[in-house]
Amino acid sequence: MKTDAVDYILSSLLMMLLGALSWGLAWWGSALSRTYTGDYHVIVDLVVGLASYGVFSALAVRTLFRLFPIQPGTYPMDSKIFTVWKLITVIYHFGQTALLPLTPIFLKPAVAALYGARMGKEVALGGMLDAPFMISIGDRAVIGAFALVSANFTSGESLIFGGVKIGNGATVGVNSVVYPNTEIGDGAVLLGGSYLMPGSKIPAGETWRGNPARKWM
């Protein structure tokens, strides 16, 4: 992946701005936290700072995606979209890291929704979403531990984007990988350790496995 001075400057400036906003908010509220929590105000201020950074970074990601919408397709590494994608990715991962101490596993779907994922009800999210603003997960779906659902990947000198749709009651097994431009139908199962390649669609109720994943039985 090519990274130049512009990437470092843009990401550094935006992270500094987000940090100033979030820790400024924590400092502004520190007088109140001192009054009600005494010596424990440091912990409260830290929680406020981390939470604020996560929320502000989510707003930044959503704003950047709205200003520079990324359509499904393949983009060269010297394109504007590639620069925007690197900036969004840095902000997204730093923001999620800030929220990590504050979000037990059952709150992971809420964090994903905060960053733009379309999340259904009662989703069990044990794995990771990459480019969540292009991912849709239906009601009662299960994403197993250490699974990766990604709406983008790099190949050679290209960046490839595509939406991912996971249906109601579908299951993505432990350690599986779901690539862009894929669909998993309602009640379908991708067994653990499988790789669902770009362009693949698992019909409702079917079970697939393997690398690349294929219908099983």
Classify residue 65 by its DSSP letter.
H
Judgement on whether residues 112 and 184 belong to the same structural domain of the protein: yes
Judgement on whether residues 80 and 129 belong to the same structural domain of the protein: no
Judgement on whether residues 82 and 71 belong to the same structural domain of the protein: yes
Side chain identity at residue 25, one-letter code:
L
* Structure-model confidence comparison of residues 105 and 162, the more confident one: 162
Give the CA count within 13 Å in the CB-facing half-sphere of 178.
Answer: 39
Q: What is the pLDDT of residue 170?
A: 98
Residue 32 pLDDT more than 80? yes
Judgement on whether residues 75 and 128 belong to the same structural domain of the protein: no
Contact 120, 65 (CB under 8 A): no
Q: Give the pLDDT mean for 24-44.
A: 86
pLDDT by residue (tens digit) across 77-102? 888 888 899 899 999 999 999 999 99
Judgement on whether residues 69 and 150 belong to the same structural domain of the protein: no
Q: What is the pLDDT of residue 27?
A: 86
Residue 2 pLDDT more than 70? no
Judgement on whether residues 68 and 166 belong to the same structural domain of the protein: no
Could you tell me the pTM of the whole model?
Answer: 0.89
Q: What is the pLDDT of residue 37?
A: 85
Judgement on whether residues 87 and 118 belong to the same structural domain of the protein: no
Judgement on whether residues 126 and 60 belong to the same structural domain of the protein: no
- Name residues whose C-beta falls within 8 Å of residue 118's C-beta, 6 or more positions apart in sequence: 135, 136, 137
Q: What is the pLDDT of residue 50?
A: 94
**Which structural domain, as residue segments, surrounds residue 146?**
105-217
Q: How far, in Å, are 115, 117, 187 from residue 107 at the CA level?
A: 13, 14, 23
Tokens of 72: 């499904």
Contact 116, 62 (CB under 8 A): yes
What total of structural domains would you count in the chain?
2
Three-state DSSP class for residue 75: strand
